[in-house]
Amino acid sequence: MNIAFKKFALCISIFLFMLISINAQNEVDALRFSELDWQGTARFMGAGKAFGAVGAEFSALNTNPASIGLYKKSEITFTPMTLSIINSRSGYNGTFALAQGVKYNIGSAGIVMALPGISSTLWKKIQIGFGFNRIKNYNNIFNMEGRSNGFTIGSVYAEKAEGLDYRDVSNEEIWSDEMWLAWEYWLISPKSGSYTSYDPTLAGVGTLHASTVIQTGGNDEMIFSLGTNYDDKLFLGATIGVPFIKFTENRTFREVNDKKDTVYNFQNLRIEDKLSVRSTGINLKLGIIYQPFDFLRIGIAFHTPTYYGNVRDYFERQMYAKKWEYNDVSKLREFSNDEIKYVNKFNYSLTTPLRAMANVAFFIQQRAFISAEYEFAGYGSATMYSINYNFLSENQTIQNMYGFCHIARIGAEINLSQAFALRAGYNYISSPYKNDINDGSKHYASLGLGFRTKIFYGDFAYALTTSKEKYWMYDPLFVNAANNKFITHRIMLTMGVRF
């Protein structure tokens, strides 16, 4: 790895996975709250979410609002069960760790009213829709553990301590509690002949590293939709979206010196971080679908950037440390145990990128359809700002790190009889990162089954999502990455009535 790339990696990742950063507002949050993973009804999920040109599907009001224009009857829909089973496998320096979690959430709920159009004109229907769909699920869990191969978080503290005089270690205005702990518990030691330069004491020792990350919450978007139908050829729609972010991350990191005869002073460091984010945003979506032939529909949709005017960020850190010392009979014993805690609260604004998508659907004798969609978003255009902080560095890092994300979706449905339908779908989501910094690509495959009468319907779907990413427990210049692989199984059930 050349020096230029190391400097670039430091700039783009120092906020990414670094456990010692006090402030949590950075480009990681910008991507996390800009990325969407459309969810909702079981029919929508079972047919690969590719309903932009098919229409008459409640969850498609979040993607192509013109789909509301295809409703001929009014509908009430409810997805009371979305069950997610999360599996992860993490490899760190040759050691592998597994984790599993189960989460439940309500996927969607809404109503669409199909009203008579303008009499004596070709405007046949006017539709009004209201409700919500989950557009991003944040639930995740992964564990990492293994030998450090000589790396130590003390390297990060040694760099941060550069210029601090250890003779002033008791001065709280100069030495923070966190830096005092690093000094007092032998994570760092002074270089020979210097009062202000430091070495990581545990460098080369080969300690134990372990970290666990648990993420919960989701982004549920309330929608207000309006559409119309002109001569069963042209369908127009608009949706005002009001997304609600609720995200929590609990993260722990441990470094353990079990080679007491090598560096006897330091025994254990544990860092516990909790990040909680809440916000409400607003956006506008516009869509159009055109049906030139009975067997073909094409559509396009544009989504304005979502504006989150008040992102409420709460960050809490607790640190625990133990050290050892020889007693009078030269036997190793635990000497002391300290704990420090601090909290950071911050409010800021976030504007996410605009989105655009194109849709096409082919119909086979009203018994089946095959549909496809393409969607893109430029995550490098996300912007953070606050009256108390300019975010210049973070916004520049966003532009350097993130590029265009391309999403392809295909789906199909076939009516096995008048009552039963079978569905299947597949999605590919490209990585949002530039220059192969990390891999954020995802694969999604689904199957679904539907039962319908003239009034009542019920839908069931199963979806499998796979992805992988690199994760650094702290500064990437001082530790190897853990390679994480994720598999999520999702089961959905939807019920509804049409009248």
Domain ranges of the chain: 3-152+202-498
The reported pLDDT for the residue numbered 24 is: 60
Asked if residues 74 and 499 have their Cβ atoms less than 8 Å apart, the reply is: yes
The reported pLDDT for the residue numbered 17 is: 39
The reported pLDDT for the residue numbered 260 is: 66
The reported pLDDT for the residue numbered 338 is: 73
The reported pLDDT for the residue numbered 335 is: 53
Asked if residues 92 and 145 have their Cβ atoms less than 8 Å apart, the reply is: yes
To the nearest 10 degrees (0 to 180), the angle between helices 177-184 and 154-161 is 120
The reported pLDDT for the residue numbered 15 is: 38
Q: How many CB atoms lie within 10 A of CB 4?
A: 8
The reported pLDDT for the residue numbered 146 is: 96
pTM confidence score: 0.89
Question: Average pLDDT per run of 10 along the chain, which is 499 residues long?
Answer: 41 40 72 96 98 96 97 97 97 96 96 91 94 97 95 94 94 90 90 94 92 97 97 97 98 88 76 96 98 96 97 94 65 61 92 97 94 97 93 93 96 95 98 89 97 96 96 92 97 97
The reported pLDDT for the residue numbered 14 is: 38
The reported pLDDT for the residue numbered 460 is: 98
Q: What is the CA radius of gyration of the chain?
A: 27
The reported pLDDT for the residue numbered 7 is: 38
Q: How many CB atoms lie within 10 A of CB 483?
A: 16
CATH topology of domain 3-152+202-498: Porin (2.40.160)
| Long-range Cβ contact pairs of 110-114 (< 8 A, separation 24 or more) | 110/58, 110/61, 110/76, 110/77, 110/223, 111/74, 111/75, 111/76, 111/77, 112/58, 112/68, 112/71, 112/74, 112/75, 112/225, 113/74, 114/71, 114/72, 114/73, 114/74, 114/75
